[in-house]
Chains A and B, each alone.
Chain A
Amino acid sequence: MMSTARATAILLGKELRLELRTRELLGATIVFALIVEVLFSFAFDPSPADARRIGPGLLWIAFLFAGSLMLNPSFAREQPNDTLDALRLAPISSFAILLGKLLANLIFMLAVEAILVPVFSILYNVPIAGIVGRLALVMLLGTLGLVITGTVFSAISAQARMRELLLPLLLLPVLAPLLIASVEATAALFAEEPMIDRTWVAFLAGFDIVFMTAAWLLCDYLISE
């Protein structure tokens, strides 16, 4: 049997190649998330003080909306020719199939965020030049949690008729703790004196570990028919 790492790398390569060719997920998600950011900006018209206070929440809600849009087709796009069956027929572990999707989704989400954050900084007048490294850490941990849970729920909802509706319904309540932690950790970085809030960062890391372990334990059920 092929190692999980090798199989994951092959599957990740396929996911990236498919997305680069079709640009279905990235294009639509970037445009959607930018519209959300701009609409929030118009709706709240925040002062610099408001932006520091509500900005982290708006930013993470935009990430969440972008995630629920992007993660929906993750497994659903395997359905037209039953290609998930083709993957399940191969002598590879179910976890490799899940991990390949998960890593591809993580790369796509981080790419979207790399565009959204500078736009947010300009629209809301929140300087991020001095906190790029620490903000990247918080975004990585928060996004990883979003992508792990989103990929798992995408696998669960892929067979459902109303999957476009089902995924956000399943995903958003589960992500409430992650949203709170990500917003709090980001707010600490947007403060007058930016700092890493170790409590919330540790919470994010813990969330990621717990849900990644659950995904590993449940992957056979998630990938099976």
Chain B
Amino acid sequence: MRGVTLEIRAGEFVALLGPNGAGKTTLLRIASLLAAPTRGTVQFRAGDGSALSDSDAAKSLIGVVGHSTLLYDELTAAENLEFFAKLYGLGDPSSRTGAALEDCGLGKRTNGIVRTFSRGMRQRLAIAKALLNDPRIVLLDEPAAGLDRQGLEWFSARLAQLRDGGATVMMSTHARNESLELATRVVALVAGSVAEDSGSGGDPAPILARLRAEA
């Protein structure tokens, strides 16, 4: 990344666009505190504007869907979600897990070993895991990869729920993704720098239309 400065307000739905190698994944890894920037900082602010100094407090607010599923292949779907529910200190992990599996359409595969799942099922489970802690900040790196038509519809509905619920969403994707209709802001990255930014409260449609035409 080179000289990237972004202030994202609570409730914004930011679409990160750009060619391969533009730095979308790196930016999301830095924002999720998985990678430390060589220079600069990442700050999370509470509702009153005060900075959250404790990274663990910030982590409990974040949900991440990465390039990998972040799931244990040898555990069942339920065991995976219950493990992470416990790790996040969530109340009643068992019923929360059951509800999440029903929601993502894997209610009948609760005890299925993840290794035996199709790519799309794993991706649904990865998304369900990321949303298990009702995150206020959702960071999504190409989240629709592998999802079939049904999965895409479920995912779009969940994204709309998140946006309507006031969650802040940052999603890297390609310009033709249908979920981009939900975006309130578009940030285009090129070679590690911000090439275009519709800004907070700005209209993302013109940038989006042009990027789609170019894609």
Measuring CB to CB, which residues of chain A are less than 8 angstroms from any residue of chain B?
A: 1-2, 7, 10-11, 13-14, 17-18, 21-22, 80-83, 85-93, 224-225
Contact = CB atoms under 8 A, between A and B. Distances in A.
Contacts of A11: 87
Contact of B72 (A2, A13, A18): A18
B56 interface: yes
B196 interface: no
Contact of A85 (B34, B54, B89): B34
Interface in B164-180: none
B144 to A, nearest CB: 18
Q: Chain B at the A interface: mostly helix, strand, loop or mixed?
A: loop
A10 B86 CA distance: 7
A224 to B, nearest CB: 7
B59 A91 contact: yes
Given A18-B74, A225-B34, 18 more contacts: A1-B54, A10-B83, A10-B87, A13-B83, A14-B75, A21-B74, A22-B74, A80-B68, A81-B70, A83-B70, A86-B70, A86-B84, A88-B34, A89-B70, A90-B87, A91-B56, A91-B57, A91-B60
B71 interface: yes
A80 B88 CA distance: 22
A13 B186 CA distance: 43
Given A88-B34, A89-B32, A225-B35, A7 B72 contact: no
Q: Nearest 8 CB-CB pairs, A to B?
A: A86-B70, A82-B68, A91-B56, A91-B60, A91-B59, A1-B56, A90-B87, A81-B68
B35 A91 contact: no
B83 A14 contact: yes
B62 interface: yes
Interface in B48-105: 54, 56-57, 59-60, 62, 64, 66-75, 79, 83-84, 86-89
Interface string B165-209: 000000000000000000000000000000000000000000000
A88 B68 CA distance: 14
Contacts of B87: 2, 7, 10-11, 87, 90, 92
Interface of B: 29, 32-36, 54, 56-57, 59-60, 62, 64, 66-75, 79, 83-84, 86-89, 129
A91 B88 contact: yes
Q: Chain A at the B interface: mostly helix, strand, loop or mixed?
A: helix
Contacts of B68: 80-82, 85
Contacts of B88: 90-91
Contacts of B56: 1, 91-93
Contacts of A10: 83, 86-87
A82 B57 contact: no
B1 to A, nearest CB: 15
Contact of B75 (A1, A7, A17, A92): A17
Contacts of A91: 56-57, 59-60, 88-89
Contacts of A13: 83
B115 to A, nearest CB: 10
A31 B68 CA distance: 33
A173 B9 CA distance: 53
Given A2-B87, A90-B87, A91-B60, A85 B66 contact: yes
30 contacts: A1-B56, A1-B57, A1-B60, A7-B87, A10-B83, A11-B87, A13-B83, A17-B75, A18-B72, A18-B74, A21-B74, A21-B75, A81-B73, A82-B66, A82-B70, A83-B71, A85-B70, A86-B71, A87-B87, A89-B32, A89-B33, A89-B59, A89-B62, A90-B84, A90-B87, A92-B56, A93-B56, A225-B29, A225-B34, A225-B35
